[in-house]
Amino acid sequence: MFDEADENYDPVLIESIIDFDPNTMCVEQESSDIIDTLRGWLSDSVPSHIDIDSIDSFSDHSEIFSFEIPLNRKEWLVEDLASKRQRSPRLFEFLVLLLGKPQYKSYASFIDKAKGVFQIYQPEKVAELWQSVKSRQSNQRMTYDKFARAIRWYYKSNIMQKTNTRYTFQFSSKTLKNYFVDENNNTKLSLKS
DNA sequence: TGCGGAAATA
DNA sequence: TATTTCCGCA
């Protein structure tokens, strides 16, 4: 059906083929065949010791989706409003960019985009990615623990809100207002601290 | 795991 | 200044 080696292969396109109703959280009947096919692929690509049925959205998927996503630094630059210069993103900007990239959906994705609530599925992968994208480099390894602490600093400045749920974070309404002023799927970062 | 103080650092 | 690092507490 779809061949990954095919240059026309597009995971986003596949997604649009499946008729998913966000209200009922169910897929339409016609889509079930496609789901089964995808499930078949998963069976072939996932290590045999892993029970696919045991995989849920709250587990760390790093063992399952262990393939590397090539890093393209340019994709992670933001334009500084003041200087009009390209620069590495701040942590919250990194999060906005990450959530906007379909290829990173297995890393983290929105649970409730309108409220800015998102969940991280591969904590250490995200922390690792943050380390390679951020401006301020260090010799030590970025861990989810430190990554999460940095996010918690945002509570005080009201850039983020507490969720008190495992691997789940939320942008504040203020941040949502200032950084999601886009109407399409293009992420707009209109800075204004 | 999440939280947040305290101190260090790019 | 914006995290990063370390860590005791819940």
Residue A158 backbone zone (phi > 0: left; psi -120 to 50: alpha; other: beta): left
Q: How would you write the pLDDT of chain A (193 residues) with one tens digit per residue? A: 445 554 444 544 455 566 666 555 566 666 666 667 666 666 555 656 566 666 655 555 665 656 678 899 899 999 988 888 999 999 999 999 999 999 999 999 999 999 999 999 999 999 999 999 999 999 999 999 999 999 999 999 999 999 989 999 999 999 998 876 554 444 555 544 3
> Which residue from A59, A92, A96, A49 is spatially nearest to A75, judged by alpha carbons?
A96
Task: Determine the pLDDT at residue A70.
Answer: 87
Statement: the CB of A152 is under 7 Å from strand B? yes
CA-to-CA distance for A171 and A161, rounded, in angstroms?
A: 6
Pairing of strands A117-120, A108-112: antiparallel
Task: Determine the pLDDT at residue A147.
Answer: 98
CA-to-CA distance for A134 and A16, rounded, in angstroms?
A: 32
Which residue matches tokens 């999601």? A180
Question: Per-domain residue ranges for chain A?
Answer: 11-45, 73-179
The architecture in CATH of the region A73-179 reads Orthogonal Bundle (1.10)
CA-to-CA distance for A129 and A98, rounded, in angstroms?
A: 9
Statement: the CB of A91 is under 7 Å from strand C? yes
* Distance C2 C1' – A51 CA (angstroms): 42
Statement: the CB of A58 is under 7 Å from strand B? no
DSSP A184: S
Task: Determine the pLDDT at residue A180.
Answer: 66
Task: Determine the pLDDT at residue A26.
Answer: 64
CA-to-CA distance for A149 and A129, rounded, in angstroms?
A: 16
Statement: the CB of A134 is under 7 Å from strand C? yes
CA-to-CA distance for A28 and A34, rounded, in angstroms?
A: 11
Q: Locate A120 and state its tokens.
A: 């991280």
Q: Around Cβ A190, how many Cβ atoms within 10 Å?
A: 11
Name the nucleotide nearest A156; use CA and C1': B4
